[in-house]
Structure 1
Amino acid sequence: MFETFAFYALPFTFTLLVACLLTCVVCGVFLFLFRIRVTNQALRHPYLDKQSWERYPLSIRAAILLDYFLRISFPKSNFWIVGQANRLLSHVQPDELSTRLKWPLIGFWGGCLVGLIALLVLWALILLTMV
């Protein structure tokens, strides 16, 4: 029974992982090369009032983009990291943002998060089939 499940689940999970990787790379490259200035001007993160985007290291830039993603995806949550992003970006109304600004952010971070889950499932399936 499990062999049949693993026979179908392993290739599907690997395909999902590769699709998430490609989505993350394409959306990330597009975001960083073409849309980052427009996105920062539209969403106005409070950290950018202190320093310019270029002066922050890559980890802080990724955290700013993660805050944008969390505000767009979960606008009413007050829990943990999502709540902090919603408090920092309370001036942003996700319904009023154009899809042109949303899709690179959602593709970038959505691909990362779904890809992490797919990677964990893939590892679990590989370990279970080895036993």
Structure 2
Amino acid sequence: MIRGVRGATTINQNTEKEIIQRTEELLLKMIDANAIVAEDVAQVLISVTNDITACFPAKALRNLDGWDYVPVMCTKEIAVPDSLPSCIRVMMTVNTEVAQKDVNHIYLYAAQSLRPDLSKS
């Protein structure tokens, strides 16, 4: 079965260091909360708001051992008025037997406001 695992985080500063740190933190929490192994991941899509320009957050995925061959792509979010700024969103497509209702989606920092119904932290 293929499932989408969602996650989002925000940054305080548009720097490569913070973008990589926050994205890596998010990815590791998504992986841990859903017992994901790289071999089961079909793809990872990462989007950013228009104010994030210092680097590609996909670099964070390349820091993870064993994730070298997972396809990853970065894209821009639609610039909707009054949407959450400085936001990095992740959609990980995973082969899993977990029921859709049991997937753990991860929302960190100000991104918890995107899906308060799914935010557990």
TM over 0.5: no
Structure in which a larger fraction of residues adopt helix = 1
TM-score by length of 1: 0.24
TM-score by length of 2: 0.25
Structure in which a larger fraction of residues adopt strand = 2
